[in-house]
Chains A and B, each alone.
Chain A
């Protein structure tokens, strides 16, 4: 018998260090780690995609946030808030708009209170408050609103040269006629040109034109005989110093010590007529073009030494000085770079701002603008909500009925009341002289309030017209149906802008009285008809899903066609299409921007007027666009989430009926 050899591995089970794959516990699928694994890192491709997306998001958000805190200048928003929101509506009448906004918040709060509301309802309510707070800038009189002169684009290309100087600076001014053809033939004798706010590159165009002629040998600059007076003015237009060119000393050259911080004007006048002969504001060196077919004419270039910054508008310089205390210096290595800087950095704040400075110079003015309105809106909403909720929970059903009826009546009279408040009315009876509001011309309406007016008015009128068109299209009467089909298809086939242009240019021909109608009314008619055609198609979709049995049942009960439509078909069809109508309203709300092309200054048009018409704000277009983009987004989002909510809740009884 062989001795049993003791082999430990056979006798004892030694657990392997790693369990076999089949015995490993499954991957965690719950908790944050499980969630991450399932949703972000479920495979190689998924992980890769997550990585790429995260890096893109981080890069984008980092750029956006650092830019908006460190570099962006939101004062374009803060300073022009009133213009953006209510346009040129007279300041002393703004209380009417404030009243409308308060009413809006009150009715929203009451509605949510009575008819119930969940978290999303409150979310929407708070967004409404924010919008209302933006519309009612209670601190409006605190901020100096830009004057009318500012928003009307200057059509005068002979704007003077402006520059900023500090007290004690010595400014050297040189204005020299160009009479050497060789100089003109050089590739780039001058450092740069800059368009002024009129957008006319007139000096450059004139100079390029002249230069081409010199190169072609058609023009001899030495024949020109430009005599001029160069004046240095302070910001109030007082002449501080002036110098004349003579045939012997054709170069005007003088130095001047500035008496105070501020901005100064250089004006070059033709000696014989006293006309300003500048064509354009420019940088450090530029030709002064006066290519008029007169004996005393020609080109000159001007140089200003010892100056920090040059700009076209006083307010910008003042604003910048107030905000930052200092001014950046221009240093341009090349012509193009200089030109770009003059366009951009010269006026733009380009530095790094701390977060504290951001809060102080950017956010603080904005909050100061809306904080009062925000508080008022919040309080009003709270009161209205409590009132509604109190009535809802009270034991007496009559009180709930009363409040909900009041809310409905409130909403019904809200829109006509708002219109009356906005436009004002004359006392009709003379019995109540206090019942009189000064009328505000519709051309003064503008900004966000005009956008809202356009949207709601055209929606209100388009809805019934759309229903009629839809019924007409489905009608058995061939002429009516043909008319409706033609109308709907033609309107849907052409761009909205065509219809608006027609409303502006052709509608006045339709009747003598129409040519005196305000543009707003005409455009409203255009928008309404446009929306009605689209609504008609939506309503037609709703009509199509009504089972034929419904109509037959109505007929069996002896209802006439009118009653069948009004009491049986339409209620069901309209409930079914409410979500679609809402999303139609969102696109209408966005489409109202097109009226800015035909000359009404609604929200986007106002911004256009501010940032594009004005040299001061031109460099801040991105800030302005981003701001109004956010506002547009918020309002559209409220509307589309309402529509989605209605859709989810199954607004249509038809759907419920079908499911049953």
Chain B
């Protein structure tokens, strides 16, 4: 609210300009009490004291601040409604203050109130807020009255009755929970984290969602970049095939694509494991894909240490070479230095591992038991469909973004780079891509967000993602409100995390101006 005693020039045309006395500041009060009270620090302290009072004494205050007004016992008032009322009471002095201020100015101005834009604005906001709060309040009351089953947040600690065949087993105890310092013991005893609870099932669902989203993100980026380059190819055929791909996948619904993959492609494969299509140690059947699992052995830490050391030394060398280039102008050859260090130290780690205790990795191949595969890893048909479907769909959008980004780099830039004697590879790497990336990253972020949200379509193909698990709970308990709040918050957090990550990347790519 703009309850100031002076006016900004943009608001002037609403004020009766003939009355110039309106612009004169009001005479300052001489009363020491008023002067004391008007100090910002005092006002803020008073306000903070009021808030403190409300918060500390809420348990007793709410009887007459909420329950009496609503005319119903405090025990019947839900948490959400109570929080809303709390917020209202906390914000109340602010409203009173601003209305009082607006009224004061209005009185002093002696212009009609309907021409005083500040007054109108404040009133409009208060009315708007009143409408919104009243609307939400009515809705909340109605939800309380109409739900046959009262909203119960304890639904998260209930037993989850359905078997979730994907992801970490939620019926087992989390063994590492106790090892967490300080809070470990408390967490292990928490009701909601006991094996078999709804929370655990929701966590499993969340992990499944993330598994699918992350894999689809990576694959769709790779495929999208390839097709995007195809869209810019000199080859007419490649260009048009890429364009047809993009058009087809952009112009048909994702859900249809998922159904087609799930039922039309995977659904017609033989379901019996022994009839599965075999590619080496990969078995593809109607039930999913079975493939070798990579296991680490005792000598694995040596290899890991070699890799990590290689990475650290490599990055240090990279930076050093860049500094040398800045200082002396000699070619940096960062990639050569980095890869030498990385692969060299990695190889040393590998040799160490072999010397001390054999191979660092072992492959556990899936083998056919009587009816099913034993050992190895497995991607279920639902997971496979979700990853493939999301990848193909998003890749079409990514391809178009990549094409637009590269095309937007002006041709003069490329010509200038050539004139400076850069090779075509260098032109691409040092001139075109850095500029294109700036335009690619923001829309790419949007696509990634879309992908993470679209993963909730897993419910249509029976994959146990977060949304599917939550829907099962909702069907079992009827706790729609509680579960949708949890769902929305989780998806918001996922979206925010992706945005954050992409914003960091975006910032590192932006032009650095000094």
Interface, chain A (partner B; CB < 8 A): 39-40, 42, 46, 49-50, 53-54, 57, 187, 334-337, 339-340, 344, 476-480, 483, 490, 493-498, 501-502, 505-506, 508-512, 515, 555, 558, 586, 590-591, 593-594, 596-597, 604, 608, 611-612, 621-622, 625-626, 628-629, 632-633, 636-637, 640
Contact = CB atoms under 8 A, between A and B. Distances in A.
Nearest to A586: B251
B256 A593 contact: yes
A328 to B, nearest CB: 17
A39 B143 contact: no
A335 B142 contact: no
A631 B453 CA distance: 25
A506 B235 contact: no
B129 A479 contact: yes
B173 to A, nearest CB: 27
By secondary structure, the A interface counts as: helix
B108 interface: no
A340 B453 contact: no
Contact of A633 (B235, B248, B370): B248
A415 B463 CA distance: 39
Contacts of B147: 509
9 contacts: A49-B238, A337-B270, A477-B125, A493-B492, A494-B488, A497-B467, A512-B142, A586-B251, A632-B253
A476 B251 CA distance: 39
Contact of A594 (B125, B255, B272, B370): B255
A553 to B, nearest CB: 13
Given A479-B129, A509-B146, A510-B139, A604 B235 contact: no
Given A511-B142, A612-B263, A506 B453 contact: no
A333 B274 CA distance: 14
A597 B235 contact: no
Contacts of A495: 453-454, 456, 467, 491
Contact of B255 (A508, A596, A626): A596
Given A50-B237, A506-B480, A597-B460, A490 B256 contact: no
Contacts of B264: 621-622, 625
A49 B229 CA distance: 13
Contact of B252 (A339, A498, A509, A629): A629
A501 B270 contact: no
Contacts of B1: 477-479
Contact of A498 (B256, B271, B467): B467
Interface of B: 1-2, 10, 13, 121, 124-125, 128-129, 132, 139, 142-143, 146-147, 233-238, 241, 247-248, 250-256, 259-260, 263-264, 267-268, 270-272, 274-275, 370, 453-454, 456-457, 459-460, 467, 471, 474, 480-481, 484, 487-488, 491-492, 495-496
A632 B252 contact: yes
Given A336-B271, A497-B459, A555-B13, A480 B488 contact: no
Contacts of B234: 39, 42, 46
Across the A-B interface, give the 4 residue pairs with the lowest CB-CB distance, nearest first: A336-B272, A636-B251, A39-B236, A495-B453
A126 B247 CA distance: 20
Contacts of A594: 255, 457
A512 to B, nearest CB: 6
A336 B272 CA distance: 6
Contact of A40 (B2, B237, B241, B491): B237
Contacts of B270: 336-337, 340
B256 A628 contact: yes
A75 B186 CA distance: 63
By secondary structure, the B interface counts as: helix
A633 B256 CA distance: 11
Contacts of A344: 268
Contacts of A477: 1, 121, 124-125, 128
A184 B495 CA distance: 53
A593 B257 CA distance: 11
A336 B274 contact: yes
Nearest to B2: A476
A505 B142 contact: no
A498 B484 contact: yes
B153 to A, nearest CB: 15
B303 to A, nearest CB: 37
Contacts of B484: 498, 501-502, 505-506
Nearest to A60: B241
Given A50-B235, A498-B488, A612-B263, A632 B256 contact: yes
B142 A509 contact: yes
Contacts of B253: 590-591, 593, 604, 632
B255 A629 contact: no
A510 B139 CA distance: 5
A511 B142 CA distance: 6
B124 A621 contact: no
A509 B256 contact: no
Given A493-B496, A622-B260, A625-B260, A508 B125 contact: no
A601 B400 CA distance: 32
B252 A335 contact: no
Contacts of A335: 272
A621 B263 contact: yes
A232 B151 CA distance: 54
A509 B143 contact: yes
Given A493-B491, A591-B253, A622-B260, A637 B456 contact: no
A502 B471 CA distance: 11
A608 B262 CA distance: 12
A478 B481 CA distance: 29
Nearest to B460: A597
Contacts of B481: 506, 509
Contacts of B236: 39-40
Contacts of A476: 2, 121
B251 A498 contact: no
A656 B6 CA distance: 40
Nearest to B12: A555
Nearest to B259: A625
A335 B238 CA distance: 45
Given A494-B492, A632-B256, 9 more contacts: A57-B237, A493-B491, A495-B467, A498-B488, A498-B491, A593-B255, A597-B460, A621-B259, A633-B251
Contacts of B267: 621
Nearest to B248: A633
B251 A494 contact: no
Given A42-B234, A625-B256, A637-B251, A510 B272 contact: no
Nearest to A54: B237
Contacts of A53: 235, 237-238, 241
A570 B264 CA distance: 47
B133 to A, nearest CB: 10
Contact of A505 (B453, B460, B474, B488): B474
A512 B146 contact: yes
A510 B154 CA distance: 22
Nearest to A592: B253
Nearest to B14: A560
Contacts of A40: 235-237
A494 B453 contact: yes
B146 A479 contact: no
A608 B260 CA distance: 11
A491 B413 CA distance: 41
Contacts of A501: 471, 474, 480, 484
A590 B491 contact: no
A535 to B, nearest CB: 15
B467 A483 contact: no
Given A39-B236, A593-B253, A629-B252, A479 B272 contact: no
B235 A608 contact: no
Nearest to B480: A505
B251 A632 contact: yes
A612 B459 CA distance: 15
B81 to A, nearest CB: 14
Contacts of B251: 586, 590, 632-633, 636-637, 640
Nearest to B147: A509
B235 A49 contact: yes
